[in-house]
Amino acid sequence: MRPATSRIGPSVVLKILSDSSGDELEFLQYLNGIKEPANRTIPLLEVIRLDIGKQLIMLPWRSPLHEVLLFRQCPDDIVSLCAQFIEGVSFLHNHKVAHCDLKPGNIVVDLEQQPAQLFIIDFNLAEFVKSEETMVEGWCGTPPWIAPEVGTQDGPAQWFSPILADRWACGEMIRYFAQYTPSPNRRQDLVALAEPLLHKDPRARPSLSGLKINTTTKRRLEADQEEPLQKQRG
């Protein structure tokens, strides 16, 4: 995958789909065809078929999540991005797709929109599933973002539900967002939201569609600002 500038101006990413890319193009075409506000899939701009028998896909370039979070100082911004992430993964699950490699490196952000918009990328490990009861065998993902029931790369192959494994990864991602918010109250809220998703029993992890984040934080922000002021007066 490499960044480039298209003839029409905006920066794009060019990615050659190799044999190891699985059915990424199929997933992108399928998901891009669903027009819903909750769809956080990266847009597919163009497909180019190469003479060498491979395909090249063109995607819009967006800022990597980890770089964005390093410079976002407003708790509202970070919580909004976290809410968008949950919404995006819930959308995938509602449309029978498990991502199977949720991690900061597979999340990008469009900073030109207000508010900033989050997108999910890299569907080379994704799975079509009928429900959370669908089970697959094997190992996939990126440590440390892999659910415990998936096992280890060098260990024996294990059966697991891709949807329930995604939920565990979402819990880790919510905790990842939490560590970047400057608001202690907001951090605590996000960590508490993540805990049920990190349950060791996959069946005990709640559906993402039931998770709600209140992105209006005026009252909490005022409390955070008053605390140092009171200390200063004392």
**232 lies in a domain?**
no
Report the interhelical angle of 162-178 vs 184-194 (nearest 10°): 170
Do both 22 and 88 map to the same domain? Answer: no
207 vs 85, 163, 164, 204, 211, CA distance in Å? 14, 9, 9, 9, 7
**231 lies in a domain?**
no
The pLDDT value given to residue 209: 93
In 3D, which of 116, 126, 215 has the Cα closest to residue 169?
Answer: 126
Do both 49 and 113 map to the same domain? Answer: no
In 3D, which of 170, 157, 178, 176 has the Cα closest to residue 205?
Answer: 170
Of 21, 37, 60, the residue at which a domain comes to its end is 60
Do both 67 and 37 map to the same domain? Answer: no
Continuous segment of H or E residues that includes residue 219 = helix 218-233
**16 lies in a domain?**
yes
Domain count, the chain: 2
Do both 85 and 157 map to the same domain? Answer: yes
Are 128 and 97 contacting, i.e. CB atoms less than 8 angstroms apart? yes
Are 13 and 2 contacting, i.e. CB atoms less than 8 angstroms apart? yes
In 3D, which of 162, 99, 97, 165 has the Cα closest to residue 136?
Answer: 162
Do both 6 and 71 map to the same domain? Answer: no
Of 60, 83, 101, the residue at which a domain comes to its end is 60
Do both 19 and 37 map to the same domain? Answer: yes
- Sequence length of the chain is 234
**229 lies in a domain?**
no
**234 lies in a domain?**
no
The pLDDT value given to residue 56: 92
In 3D, which of 139, 212, 128, 201 has the Cα closest to residue 164?
Answer: 201
Do both 137 and 178 map to the same domain? Answer: yes
User: Residue 10 belongs to a domain with what CATH number?
Assistant: 3.30.200.20
Do both 68 and 56 map to the same domain? Answer: no
CB atoms within 10 A of CB 102: 28
Do both 56 and 70 map to the same domain? Answer: no
Are 125 and 165 contacting, i.e. CB atoms less than 8 angstroms apart? no
Do both 82 and 196 map to the same domain? Answer: yes
Rg (CA), the chain: 19
Of 44, 60, 76, the residue at which a domain comes to its end is 60
Do both 161 and 73 map to the same domain? Answer: yes
In 3D, which of 213, 169, 172 has the Cα closest to residue 76?
Answer: 213
The pLDDT value given to residue 74: 82
Two structure tokens written together for 1: 């995958």
Mean pLDDT by 10 residues, the chain (234 residues): 54 84 88 98 94 87 95 86 97 98 98 95 96 96 96 91 98 97 93 97 96 60 40 40
**233 lies in a domain?**
no
Two structure tokens written together for 214: 């209140």
User: Residue 151 belongs to a domain with what CATH number?
Assistant: 1.10.510.10
pTM: 0.86
The pLDDT value given to residue 54: 83
Range of the domain at 67: 63-222
**What are 12's strand-pairing partners?**
4, 60
**12 lies in a domain?**
yes
Do both 201 and 170 map to the same domain? Answer: yes
